[in-house]
A and B are shown apart, each in its own frame.
Chain A
Amino acid sequence: MISCINLKKNYRVGHTEKRVLKGVNLSIAPGDRIGLLGRNGAGKSTMIKLIGGVEMPTSGKVHREMTCSWPLGFNGGFQGSLTGYDNARFIARIYGKDYSEMRQFVEDFTELGRQLRMPVKTYSSGMRARLAFALSLAIEFDCYLIDEVILVGDKNFQEKCHYELFERRKDRAILLASHSMDSIKEFCNKSAVLQDGLLTEYDNVDEGLAIYQTL
């Protein structure tokens, strides 16, 4: 169970404060697959960063009673100047995971071959998405935080993600921020809509999507 209690987040912009989240509550139970909806700038990424512990809330609390991945996105979580292998090695080290296993998994999952020996900054966004997923799937988490990234992959990658996340790890929780209604429909069983710094949870996907379309 992960629960966010009255999360508020302000960003300083020059001399004024921009209030992005104004008291958000959300709980993620094991097995929940929540689609996070909202317009550009509504605070979806901020929300995911707070839950992942990347940034700290201005006030409020995040209680994590299950393990939770870092936010999967195009940047963050890995270092552009290092190679794919170096990043894998770093992550294996800080999460106390055996590197040879990690390497095997990353090679199989990403199918990037020799490209893994190149610095990550030379990767396309699809390749980054593959690497980000491979690295976090190699470490077992109870909850995966996914910020958009799932959508950029090709068909083969989407199928792999589907298998790894939704068949092999059926019992895990997922928070997926996305603008793609199709993927939310496909992957999620609950939805949450961010609007004006507040969040509304819906027990099914259709209701949330209907609200989202009216925004």
Chain B
Amino acid sequence: MQPVKKALQAWRIQQRVIVALMIRELTTRFGRENIGFLWIMAEPMLFAVLVGTMYSIMIGEQEHGVGVIAFVASGYIPLTVMRNSFGRIVSIFLVNGALLYHRQVRVLDFILVRFLIEMVGGMMAYLFVGTLLIAFDLFPVPAHIGFFLAGWSLYMLFVFSLCLVIAPLSEMSEVLEKLMPVTVYIAIPLSGTFNMVSWLAPAARDVVLWSPFVNGMEMMRYGLFGDAVRPYYNIWVPLGASAVLAVIGLALCRRVRRTLVVE
């Protein structure tokens, strides 16, 4: 009974800390003026709509039988969540060091909180963009919403487990911080942002399907467009990759915390 009680109490404290950190993070980042934390959805929204419009002017309104704006938006919003999470997670222990004065605040909370803010912002942006575009008939009403959510969850799970690794690594080596933006752009073709697997040659399919992002993205696209697209996916790729990365990440976090110098 005792350990259960202890675990429950620890969980309650962690919950309190996470809520407090989220509120703190939102106030420092967006302030209290004008639309405040709604800004978080402005950026992915503008991105998706502007790039989508540009593409539809460049290559026409439809590609492989799906609307270009809808296709770009569905690829870009998860990508911005990925990119922003990675950007925000670099050097996070150093930036938030002052908070480690309070023992109940754990380094894992920092990672979780920043990731959650990005993800929730992405979801709000998605909902907003989707509703808006549906009203203009530029976006499909999701064919299989469950499928979409499953794909989103797998994609985000993998982003989060990568964050668990990037955060401590960025503390161990400054090289990573410089390399981060480059690697994210290299990741674009491997994240399924611009294409379906079925559009590729069979040999290329086998390669990109090793990317956990692609598997999640395929599921999201099928959930949105239904039978207009043909999805290829294997849920065990993102699940397995996330599990491995999370274990490595947790071990690294623990190691880095032991030697972390707090000002």
Residues of A within 8 A of B (CB): 11-12, 49, 52-56, 58, 70-71, 75-82, 86, 89-91, 93-96
Contact = CB atoms under 8 A, between A and B. Distances in A.
Given A11-B261, A75-B263, A94-B17, A86 B24 contact: yes
B110 to A, nearest CB: 13
A77 B261 contact: no
A76 B101 contact: yes
Nearest to B17: A94
8 contacts: A12-B259, A54-B103, A70-B102, A76-B97, A76-B262, A77-B102, A90-B20, A95-B102
A54 B24 CA distance: 20
Interface string B91-116: 00000011111111100000000000
Interface in B113-140: none
Contacts of A93: 16, 19-20, 23
A96 B16 contact: yes
A70 B101 contact: yes
Interface string B181-222: 000000000000000000000000000000000000000000
B28 interface: yes
Contacts of B28: 79, 81-82
Contact of A55 (B20, B98, B262): B262
A96 B104 CA distance: 11
B24 A70 contact: no
B239 interface: no
A76 B102 CA distance: 9
Nearest to B20: A93
Given A11-B261, A12-B259, A55-B260, A79 B98 contact: yes
B101 A55 contact: no
Nearest to A10: B259
Nearest to B27: A86
B6 interface: no
Given A94-B104, A96-B13, 20 more contacts: A54-B101, A54-B103, A54-B262, A55-B260, A56-B258, A56-B259, A58-B259, A70-B103, A76-B98, A76-B262, A77-B98, A78-B98, A86-B27, A89-B23, A90-B20, A90-B24, A91-B102, A93-B19, A93-B23, A95-B102
Contacts of B24: 79, 82, 86, 90
Interface residues of B, number: 25
A95 B99 CA distance: 13
A132 B104 CA distance: 18
B257 interface: yes
A1 to B, nearest CB: 17
A74 to B, nearest CB: 10
B253 to A, nearest CB: 12
B100 A54 contact: yes
Contacts of A79: 24, 28, 98-99
B107 to A, nearest CB: 11
Contact of B261 (A55, A78, A90): A55
Contacts of B105: 94
A53 B99 contact: no
Contacts of A54: 100-101, 103, 262
B101 A94 contact: no
Interface in B214-238: none
A112 B140 CA distance: 57
A58 B259 CA distance: 7
Nearest to A68: B103
Contacts of A56: 257-260
A91 B21 CA distance: 10
Nearest to A12: B259
